[in-house]
Amino acid sequence: MFKSLLLFLFSLQLIAYDTIYFLPDQAKEVKKEIIHLIKNANSSVDVAMYSIDEKDFSKALKKASKNGAKVTLIYGKSDLKFSKKIKLIETKRKQHIKLAIIDSKIAIFGSANWKKESFKENYEIINITDEPKKVKRFMQIIDQIKKEN
């Protein structure tokens, strides 16, 4: 019984997802992972991002919305055009958060805007986690911003 419990607890550790990426060294890896998560969202994608100019992210958000996920983008500025299916919220206050939440289960956050410079030139960090307490708190923040704008 004790061995079974240990095996179960160990297997939970393998399933848990909490990875920190350092850019620009791991830029290709994390960009690919973020795009994969967005494109494969089942129910929702909530993004709060100060600045977005990277077309690959725009395309991934469009694909997620076409696949039926409710996509919301809270932004400060962007030169991109987004699908009409994507709910756009331009904040009243300066929006400096860099956060995405996939299906209310996975949070992507850190210092990087979704811009070419962030992934190619800057020192940035991005953390992707499914830790429930963090994801829940990030959802509360997203919900508060939505209500205020």
Q: What is the pLDDT of residues 33-67, one digit of tens each?
A: 999 999 999 999 999 998 888 999 999 999 999 99
Which residue segments constitute the domains of the chain, with CATH numbers given? Answer: 17-148 (3.30.870.10)
Q: In this predicted model, what pLDDT tens digit does every residue of 67-96 receive, in sequence order?
A: 999 999 998 777 777 878 899 998 888 889
pLDDT at 31 over 90: yes
pLDDT at 125 over 70: yes
Residue 81 has a pLDDT of: 77
Q: What is the pTM of this model?
A: 0.87
pLDDT tier, 16 (very low <50, low <70, confident <90, very high otherwise): low
Cα 49 to Cα 32: distance, rounded to the nearest angstrom: 18
**Strand ranges, E, within the chain:** 18-23, 44-52, 70-78, 87-90, 98-102, 106-110, 124-129
Mean pLDDT of 7-32: 78
